[in-house]
Amino acid sequence: MQDETQRRRRIIEALHHGVVPAIGCTEPVSLALAAARAARLVGGVVEQVEVRASANLVKNAMAVTVPGTDLPGPAIAAALGAVCGDPEAGLEVLGRVAPGDVEQARALVDAGRVDVQLADGDELLRAEVAVHAGGRSARVCIAGGHTQVVREELDGRCLVERPAPAADEVDEHTRLLRSCTLREVHQAAMGVPLEQIAFLRRAAELNGELARRGLGEAPGLGVGARLQAAVESGLDAEGLRSRMVTRSAAAADARMGGVPLPAMTNSGSGNQGITATMPVVVAAQHVGADDEQLLRALALSHLVALRVHASLPVLSAFCAAASAGMGAAAGVCHLMGGGYEAVERAVQTMAGDTVGMVCDGASPGCALKVSSAVSSAHGAVVLALQGQRPAGTCGLVFDRVEDTIDGLGRMAGQGMAATDREILQIMMGKPDQA
């Protein structure tokens, strides 16, 4: 019993570690954080910024709007981090951006004083930024995780050095989650003392506010606002599915459109956090759930999303809105009265649906993928509550749900490596990227 209690405690620790707030898309924000730390070291007015970033990070920074600006790209993200970023704020580094800061950062970019190059090597997540000011220079490297600093230098002198993680190295929380069965995750969400998951109220608040901004302002592609307009015009029907999809897409619109508000993330991604949160919040309102029911459903959703993502590479060609959607399906299934078996069926059904979506970089188009994942989650819940799921003979679906999850990890890691490289080449080959 003591071992079981200890393991459950560690699962909840992994939940707290994997569900944290962030302002803006986490890949360009990682660059901004490295730049902010370098700027603090060097002091003075920023004169030049050099960026060396991994291909996957660049892919996810090319088209997404940097918070507080109307500009996309790694150059403006690094420049803004250097000019006004809070080096102690982690993924909320760009939480205090003023118009004058944007003008200063934009002037650096327009003057050609921000150089962006691909980093050498095959690391999936590497953000290395050098900042020059007043004849001094500082360099900070983040690798292996969005906030994991592995090296800091000032005027060529090493101040901090930690070993960069190997390509296949994962942290203790990921190792634990990989070892968990889906049933263990379900039991943890259902049995943990409520105060240990009370922080998930903030997930509902933060991501809900993004949804409200997305519906009101239609930033980015305005997917959520336009889907809502379709309901109001009669082009689509009002119902639980449409509300789940509309509010989730609207939150993603706001986040990818540069609205300077935090999202509660999952597995290092705001869009995954939105996908794991908003459908559950909408379903809770639909059934009149109380506070405990909502919190346990959110805990289940985020834990399932974390469990599935633990088997995936930190960045890949796999669109992880689909894996977060598995969490949403689990949480909604619980709210609708489904027990563990129904939750498992919902996850298995999701594995037979949208897991083929590719990640072609962070952009306003992510709201479309979020809407697809949430729509798929709704369909999975409908089937699961009626006792249906794809058989273990279907495609990537196995009889055991853990085998299904492991298979998804193998597909995303080994199977999609070449796809990932080709997507980046296609993106880099566009005329406006030449």
Average pLDDT over residues 8-16: 94
Residue 21, pLDDT above cutoff 50? yes
pLDDT at 170: 74
145 band by pLDDT with thresholds 50, 70 and 90? confident
Interatomic CA distance for residues 255 and 258, integer angstroms = 6
| 386, burial (CB in 10 Å: exposed 0-12, middle 13-18, buried 19+) | exposed
What pLDDT, in 10s, does the model give residues 308-321?
999 888 778 888 99
Residue linked to tokens 């794809």: 390
What pLDDT, in 10s, does the model give residues 412-432?
888 888 888 888 888 877 776
- Going by C-alpha positions, the residue among 371, 384, 375, 373 that lies closest to residue 335 is 384
DSSP codes of every residue in 248-299: HHHHHHHHHTT---EEE-BTTBHHHHHHHHHHHHHHHHHHT--HHHHHHHHH
pLDDT at 429: 78
Do the Cβ atoms of 374 and 416 come closer than 8 Å?
Answer: no
Average pLDDT over residues 280-305: 98
Average pLDDT over residues 172-200: 94
Residue 50 in 3-state DSSP? strand
434 band by pLDDT with thresholds 50, 70 and 90? very low
pLDDT at 314: 76
- Percentage of residues of the chain with pLDDT beyond 70: 98
Do the Cβ atoms of 68 and 29 come closer than 8 Å?
Answer: no
Average pLDDT over residues 217-233: 93
pLDDT at 1: 54
* Token pair listed for 202: 């903030």
- Secondary element (H or E) of residue 168: none
Q: Domain coordinates of the chain in residue numbers?
A: 24-161, 173-428
Residue 305 in 3-state DSSP? helix
Residue linked to tokens 């560690």: 10
Count the residues in the chain: 434
Instruction: Report CA-CA distances (Å) from 281 to 23, 287, 392.
Output: 21, 10, 31
Give Rg (Cα) of the chain.
21
pLDDT at 184: 95
Please give the sequence-ordered ranges of beta strands (E in DSSP) within 19-156, or none if there are none.
21-23, 48-53, 114-118, 126-133, 136-143, 149-154
Residues near 215 by Cβ (< 8 Å), separated by ≥ 6?
A: 224, 225, 228, 246, 247, 250
Residue 19, pLDDT above cutoff 90? yes
Interatomic CA distance for residues 230 and 52, integer angstroms = 43
Average pLDDT, the chain: 91
Q: Model's pTM, two decimal places?
A: 0.90
215 band by pLDDT with thresholds 50, 70 and 90? very high
* Token pair listed for 394: 């279907």
Residue 70, pLDDT above cutoff 50? yes
* Token pair listed for 232: 């109001």
Interatomic CA distance for residues 247 and 225, integer angstroms = 9
Average pLDDT over residues 335-362: 91
- Secondary element (H or E) of residue 157: strand 157-161
2 band by pLDDT with thresholds 50, 70 and 90? low
Selected residue with higher pLDDT from 123 and 28: 28
* Token pair listed for 227: 């889907």
What pLDDT, in 10s, does the model give residues 73-128?
899 999 999 999 999 999 899 988 888 999 999 999 999 999 999 888 777 888 99
pLDDT at 120: 83
CATH class of the region 24-161: alpha beta
pLDDT at 251: 97
- Going by C-alpha positions, the residue among 117, 119, 51 that lies closest to residue 80 is 51
pLDDT at 433: 55
